[in-house]
Structure 1
């Protein structure tokens, strides 16, 4: 996968996709599989924002049942199964404990009815070839069993718990990248650090305009390019309305940006996740992940520019109060927070339906349903389609609808194939067997290193290890760990630069590997990765120091003054 904006500017595409998060990645993957000539452009690094800032869940949305969104729940549950099938190294079953209190809406009878409906809507959940991926139906737990599993649960009014199953991703940013790599494998072109600054348009019939391409600023070189496309897809997530503004000063669709922070701490709940409701802050999840625990998420309207989103010390303190209210037995303190991150959910603004009683926007109760919006009928802008809203789990299906519309505009027909096609790295079969064979094949590597490689690259593990032998004399160094306490090896850094378009140290630390996703891995590890990138990209000492400093700052909270700026 190589970055070449000069070549892209000399090509006419069927589809130009703006946005390298999971929506744009899924659109590009779907369209490329259907034989369209596709370009994908991202202003930062792929998966750098909302896609990486999720709760790592692939789930049906149990709480959407309360809002009567049965169609969305069914769609999500169907897509959950498809992600399990198509990305078996990335998407895994996750048991949830849901405590019950009293005999009302939070009691066992109501919860049993809701979960029975949830299981009914996921009737196809076990249409899987790998038995290890199959999800049992829910079951009721006694109060004693609930406390055995989760001793920190508040005991007053506790009547037991429900145990049900959803799924989680090992690394959402990697799964997004694999969709892009799959698109490129089928002929798509992609570029990160390529910011769209405007549309290239011409007058159309009547008073309308036709979009025939985009203007792109190369953020690495400062050059400007024009990329031509018959249809442009706006998949810019939290920036989608900003992109619409390039075509119309008053776009017909608006967004609510919901800010969600997560904190990462030590392992707290064994193998079980928790769904907890706090009296002062709504519900949150406590999720086991990579030997640690993710707690999330907040859900507040963010009205600043999306580029300014960050985590402040106040954000963490406020969220810890919510967590300790819901699970007082944890008694978490600031020192327990090993890492944190933020994401902005782009929700379709359907005012007044989502207006709170005080007239303010309400992101918590806003629907997570997506919209595919054709700008031609209402705004007389031909050649522009926006994919707005949605959630990680349903991104593949959203992309299918986008490409269906694009094909209609192009006067072409082709069936969607992403529902039954493994992602790049997903051709595995039974995961447990694949890991065992990989360990035998690479017995010269430690077992945890091989497991980590399979988790990140799936069936493409050998391609990554081949990178270590591409140049004479590199093999021994690149097969060593980047540090004594990490599973990542040097070959992953070099592979990210040579074959995955990594251009900054943060790209490798946070999105091509898992080096920084659990917190700071240590100065020596960061320096080792930076040195490998320096050799590949020809950085001098000044650039290398700057890359290390900028990556290190990403582990710090945002100052209050910066957040308000």
Structure 2
């Protein structure tokens, strides 16, 4: 997969998707699957905006029990199952535990009844799934077991606990990338660092976008019969340049969301704890923990989003209320994910519950539709609805959607447990067992491509540093085959080098050396790339 700007500039597409987060990527995959010619662009890297802010959890709708929204619950069950089916190497079961208390609404009796009802509604959660990825039913545990499994919470008042299973993404950034690469593999044209700067019009009709290549400043046009604005919080400003009417798809407000990557707090279970009336969660992930989610009203433009030390400190105080035995401090935070989530009210406090798919013909802008996503888990389902809408606008009969069953690139794995064991054994002559397992879980059935790169040049087997086990070969593979064009792309979103925290200066420098040798960076450019990547680990002034 390489940047092909000439094809973008000289092809008339059926569909141009602006914004390559999880929603835009899923739309590109579905539309290409169903036979449309598709272009996909993003002003930054694939999945580098709002989609990068994730708890790594694929939800099954447990929270919908609180509101009694059974339709929402069923949607999440279906979408969690679909992601597990099409990307089994990137999605795996994770047990969660929350405590029960003496008060009626959180009592053992009520919680057991609620989760038994959930299990009944989610009884098809494992249909057509690899048995090694099956989710067991929930279970009520004793006070003693709850405290043993969730020692981070205060023991006072606990009467027991509930354990249930959701799913966790091995690498959320590679989930987005897999949608993009899968679309490209069957004909879509995709490019990162291509920013939509204006509209192409034929009368009132939108017929494409003016774009700028953010790597070299060159400008050109991309033409399409239909443009989908899936640019998340950046989409509002783009639509506003058309007419006031197109802002009808704008959410009333936005919330500044934040998840923290911290030192390890829990090894096996995701832990739930109460901060006031709200549950916070801590999930184990790659030897660290992910803590979330903070949500605060936001008033400003998407580019003005800032997370400062005071923001993180305030959230840590809330986290320590929920998990007093942990005592997290600012220096325990390894990485801060931040992003803007759409809200249903102007205050920015009530998160939007349902994705929006808007055909702007009704707003006097034919040729344009907007998609506003709300949850990572439901992106595929919203993409199906958006693609159906696109076919309707194009005046074509939509073929059946197959994205619930067709594996993403690397996901053609009938038994994940057996696959990992076989991959570890097959790669033993090239890499150690831990590296072999990581390659199997990151690249799925495509791990052979990375291993072959290392076999062709054995020096690429070496890790980036003594403290960072990611190999030089993984960085080079990201450049050659996954459109990593900046150091942060490779370190944060193609490999696990920096996704769990700063990999260390030596690893950054070595990764820049490997990339620079392939791309042709000067010494000065390598230094600038390291500095640019370092900014992701700093809080805003």
- Do they superpose with TM above 0.5? yes
Residues 258 and 344 of structure 1 are in contact (CA less than 8 Å); yes or no, is this contact kept in structure 2?
yes
Q: 1:103-155 CA deviation, whole Å, 9 max, x = no partner?
A: 32222222223222322221211114422211111111111111121223222
Matched residue, 2:411:
426
CA distance in 2, matches of 1:386, 1:432: 40
**Matched ranges for 1:91-240 at <5 A:** 91-203=91-203, 209-240=204-235
- What secondary structure sits across from 1:367 in the alignment? coil
Q: Structure 1, residues 467-508: CA drift from partner, whole Å, max 9, x if none?
A: 346xxxx61111221122333111111111111111110111
Q: Larger deviation: 530-539 or 333-342?
A: 333-342
| Distance of 2:129 and 2:354 partners within structure 1 | 29
Q: Does 1:557 align with 2:539?
A: yes
- SS of the residue corresponding to residue 215 of structure 2 reads coil
- Secondary structure of 1:330 counterpart: coil
Aligned partners of 1:184 and 1:522: how far apart in 2?
Answer: 33
Deviation at 1:385, TM superposition (A): 1.1
Question: Distance between the aligned counterparts of 1:232 and 1:307, measured in 2?
Answer: 23
Q: Which residue of 1 aligns with 2:450?
A: 464
- Is the contact made by 1:129 and 1:430 (CA closer than 8 Å) also made in structure 2? no
Alpha carbons 2:260, 2:290 under 8 Å: kept: yes
* Deviation (angstroms), 1:436: 1.4
Q: Distance in 2 between matches of 1:453 and 1:384?
A: 40
State the partner residue of 1:206. Answer: none
The answer to whether structure 1 residue 343 and structure 2 residue 310 are counterparts is no
SS at match of 2:316: helix
Task: Name the SS of the counterpart of 1:227 in structure 2.
Answer: strand
Task: Report the secondary structure of 2:257's partner residue.
Answer: strand
Instruction: Indicate whether 1:287 and 2:283 are aligned.
Output: yes
d(CA) in 1 for partners of 2:339 and 2:111? 29
Q: What's the CA shift for 1:12?
A: 0.5
Aligned partner (choices 418, 432, 440) of residue 446 of structure 1 = 432
8 Å Cα contact 1:452-1:488 kept in structure 2 = no
Say if 2:427 and 2:451, in contact at 8 Å, map to a contact too.
no
Q: Offset of 1:167 from its aligned partner?
A: 0.6
Q: Tell me if 1:535 matches 2:522.
A: no
Aligned residues: 537
CA contact (8 A) 2:205 2:367 kept: yes
Alignment of 1:390 with 2:374, yes or no, is yes
- CA shift, 1:415, in A, is 1.3
CA distance in 2, matches of 1:59, 1:173: 17
2:493 to 484, 491, 511: 511
- 1:455 aligned to 2:441? yes
Q: Distance in 1 between matches of 2:321 and 2:533?
A: 34
Q: Distance in 1 between matches of 2:369 and 2:121?
A: 31
Q: CA RMSD in A?
A: 1.5
Task: Give the secondary-structure state (helix, strand or coil) at the position aligned to 1:111.
Answer: helix
TM-score with structure 1 setting the length: 0.92
Q: Secondary structure at the match of 2:337?
A: strand
Measure the CA separation in 2 of the matches of 1:286 and 1:393: 18
SS in 1 for 2:7: helix
Tell me if 1:499 matches 2:485.
no
Structure 1, residues 182-226: CA drift from partner, whole Å, max 9, x if none? 0001100001000001111122xxxxx211111111111211111
2:340 equivalent to 1:361: no
CA distance in 1, matches of 2:209, 2:330: 46
The runs of 5 or more residues in structure 1 that have no matched partner are 204-208, 560-565
Deviation at 1:311, TM superposition (A): 2.6
Question: Matched residues in 1 for 2:304 and 2:428: separation?
Answer: 46
TM-score normalised to structure 2 length:
0.96
Find runs of 4+ consecutive structure 1 residues off by over 3 angstroms: none
Separation of aligned partners in 2, 1:451 and 1:90: 12
In structure 2, runs of 5+ residues without a counterpart are none
